[in-house]
């Protein structure tokens, strides 16, 4: 379905606002892809053409980016993107069983849509403390079971989405979520339940034992003598090789700073003119 004239006027204005946040138009490509998803629910060929025109890239370049990231849909989907994590912790605690149950209940597999629900097989959601986790439009539903996951998708299909376990107090639709990801706040951040005991367990233990975060060039900071783990971070007084800024711009002459091109860098991040 083509984007209406009215929607196009709105998108053009929003795109200009997004692009103005960045030093170069092409830097705005990722939020602009979210913006077109907020209108159409996926990155359509028309959306690709819009993004290419807005940032001065070819449609091939925009497509290369949009097909690299799993958050951009290659075809239309439902209002609710239901993602099931089966990575290590979720997997051993039942993530695979949840995915199998949802596949048979909905009659679809990864990337397919049943009514207003699109099923997705996700990698780790960084929510392992409440595994197994299901995400709907990237909001957490913690400590799921096959039965509770079925109840969740039934509620979504019935138009009565339950509030997420944490974060926002109301589950947004895919399009609404995409507009937030494009950089337009909806005022819902932290309107729901905050971090729970499982997430804060490490912080509680650190406080009880008097630990604090190590600084570069230091080792243990334990106050109780129990010996917080020495990090080894900064043994030579600086960041490790893994932490040192990489000068990847040197491989892209069109976007290389003079300092990087001459090899005169100090190892510090280089600022663009």
Q: Which is nearer to ligand FES, 54 or 130 (CB)?
A: 130
Q: Which is nearer to ligand FES, 121 or 170 (CB)?
A: 121
Question: Considering the complex, what minimum distance in angstroms separates the CB of residue 141 from ligand FES?
Answer: 11
Q: Which is nearer to ligand FES, 88 or 248 (CB)?
A: 88
CA atoms of 79 and 115, how far apart (whole Å): 9
Question: Considering the complex, what minimum distance in angstroms separates the CB of residue 121 from ligand FES?
Answer: 12
8 Å CB contact between 133 and 149: no
Write the CB contacts of 102 (distance below 8 Å, at least 6 apart in sequence).
82, 84, 119, 146, 149, 150, 153
Q: Which is nearer to ligand FES, 4 or 88 (CB)?
A: 88
Three-class secondary structure of residue 247 per DSSP: coil
Question: Considering the complex, what minimum distance in angstroms separates the CB of residue 154 from ligand FES?
Answer: 22
With the C-alpha atoms ordered 106, 99, 40, 74, is the resulting torsion angle positive or negative? Answer: negative
Question: Considering the complex, what minimum distance in angstroms separates the CB of residue 90 from ligand FES?
Answer: 3
Question: Considering the complex, what minimum distance in angstroms separates the CB of residue 110 from ligand FES?
Answer: 16
Residues near ligand FES (CB under 6 A), total: 11
CA atoms of 30 and 15, how far apart (whole Å): 11
Among positions 37, 118, 125, 165, the unique one binding ligand FES when judged by CB under 6 A: 125
Torsion angle of alpha carbons 50, 53, 55, 60, nearest 10°?
80
**SS3 breakdown of the chain: % helix, strand, coil, rounded to 5?**
45, 5, 50
Q: Which is nearer to ligand FES, 48 or 93 (CB)?
A: 93
Q: Looking at 86-129, which runs of residues are DSSP E strands? A: 113-114, 117-122
Task: Looking at residues 126 to 165 of the shown chain, list those that interact with ligand FES (rule: CB under 6 A).
Answer: 127-128, 131, 133
Question: In Å, how far from its chain's centre is CA 1?
Answer: 27
Among positions 87, 145, 148, 257, the unique one binding ligand FES when judged by CB under 6 A: 87
The yes or no reply on residue 195 touching ligand FES (CB under 6 A) is no
Residue nearest to ligand FES (CB): 90
Strand pairing partners for 140?
Answer: 135
Strand pairing partners for 119?
Answer: 82
Question: Considering the complex, what minimum distance in angstroms separates the CB of residue 187 from ligand FES?
Answer: 27
Q: Which is nearer to ligand FES, 19 or 90 (CB)?
A: 90
Q: Which residues bind ligand FES (CB under 6 A)?
A: 85, 87-90, 124-125, 127-128, 131, 133
């Amino acid at each position: 379905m083509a984007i209406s004239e009215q929607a196009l006027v709105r998108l053009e204005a929003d795109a200009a606002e997004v692009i103005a946040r960045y030093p170069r138009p092409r830097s705005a490509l990722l939020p602009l892809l979210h913006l077109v998803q907020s209108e159409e629910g996926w990155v359509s060929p028309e959306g690709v053409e819009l993004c290419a025109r807005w940032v001065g890239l070819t449609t091939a370049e925009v497509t290369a980016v949009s097909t690299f990231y799993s958050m951009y849909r290659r075809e239309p989907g439902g209002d609710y993107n239901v993602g099931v994590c089966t990575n290590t912790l979720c997997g051993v605690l039942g993530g695979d069983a949840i995915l199998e149950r949802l596949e048979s209940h909905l009659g679809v597999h990864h990337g397919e849509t049943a009514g207003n629900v699109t099923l997705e097989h996700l990698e780790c959601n960084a929510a392992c403390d409440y595994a197994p986790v299901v995400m709907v439009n990237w909001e957490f539903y913690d400590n799921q079971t096959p039965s509770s996951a079925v109840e969740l998708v039934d509620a979504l299909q019935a138009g009565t989405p339950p509030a997420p376990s944490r974060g926002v107090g109301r589950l947004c639709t895919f399009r609404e979520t995409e507009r937030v990801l494009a950089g337009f706040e909806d005022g819902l951040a932290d309107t729901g339940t905050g971090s729970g005991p499982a997430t804060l367990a490490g912080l509680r233990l650190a406080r009880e034992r008097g630990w604090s975060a190590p600084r570069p060039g230091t080792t243990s900071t334990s106050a109780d003598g129990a010996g917080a783990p020495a990090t080894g971070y900064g043994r030579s007084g600086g960041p490790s090789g893994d932490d040192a800024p990489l000068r990847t711009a040197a491989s892209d002459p069109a976007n290389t700073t003079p300092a990087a091109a001459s090899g005169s860098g100090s190892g510090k991040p280089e600022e663009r003119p």
